[in-house]
Amino acid sequence: MESKSNNNHRIKDISQDERPREKLERLGSDFLDNDELLALILRTGNQRENAVEMSNRLIKEYGMEKLSECSLKELQKIKGIGLAKACQIIALFEFNKRSNISKNHIIKKITCAKDVFDLFYEKLKDEKQEYFYVLILNTQNCIIDKQLISKGILDKTLIHPREVFRYVIKNAASKIILIHNHPDGDPTPSKNDLEITEELIKAGDLLGIKIIDHIIIGNKIMGKKEYWSWKED
């Protein structure tokens, strides 16, 4: 649990030149270590350690990657981390994921499956569950919007055409791309994946909405193929 004691170690006890905020102001964010950046997010420590010491311990014991994968409940099991700090850490890593996707929006026009892979890889590469997205395009294949349809086990009974196409209709679009990930890193489509794609293509045809591809995101770190494309494969 987070302590509310007035005896908390404080960042003010650190020499002024080494305080994260002053250091950032003086030198810029590039000169801050990971524990100093995390300390700026957490802001306070606890009765035994200040924010920098706490951040240093978290990164040394768990590492950035493991911290980014922890759930809210898992974070709260870590010594010194209560609900507030757990929420701050979750928000930090989620913001980073979304920021990476936003940077990739320089791809104004989708020309191939690799464009879609590049757009979603950072978001989905480490997810432990399947995420099913719809990428909504205009007539020139430029991105209008993206929408998360489901999270969890991908089942054709859960991916209802109504949920998929209502966002497309709302955006007055006529083209979409389906995207989902395989947490095991292998993008090879399952029988269920193929059936879902075929059913949605048929439903789209009835509505005048074209599904131009279905991309399955894998994990290139595992040495397997990076992605599978309904259109290209």
Give per-residue pLDDT as tens, 33-81.
Answer: 888 999 999 998 888 899 999 999 999 899 887 898 899 999 999 999 9
Specify the pLDDT at position 13. Answer: 64
Q: What is residue 58's DSSP assignment?
A: H
Give per-residue pLDDT as tens, 108-137.
Answer: 789 999 999 999 998 898 888 899 999 999
In this structure, are strands 210-217 and 227-229 parallel, antiparallel, or unpaired?
Answer: antiparallel
Contact 55, 88 (CB under 8 A): no
Domain 107-229 = CATH 3.40.140.10: yes
The C-alpha atoms of residue 160 and residue 178 are separated, in whole angstroms, by: 13
In this prediction the pTM is 0.59
CB atoms within 10 A of CB 156: 15
CB atoms within 10 A of CB 51: 25
Domain 11-100 = CATH 1.10.150.20: yes
The CA-to-CA distance between both ends of the chain, in Å, stands at 51
CA distances for 218 relative to 101, 117, 128, angstroms: 16, 9, 12
Percent of the chain scored above 70 by pLDDT?
A: 85
- The domain spans of the chain are 11-100, 107-229
**Three-state secondary-structure class, residue 226:** coil
Residues with Cβ < 8 Å from 96, sequence gap 6 or more? 68
**What radius of gyration, in Å, describes the C-alpha atoms of the chain?**
22
Give per-residue pLDDT as tens, 5-45.
Answer: 444 455 566 766 678 889 899 878 877 888 899 999 999 88
As beta bridge partners, residue 178 has 134, 214
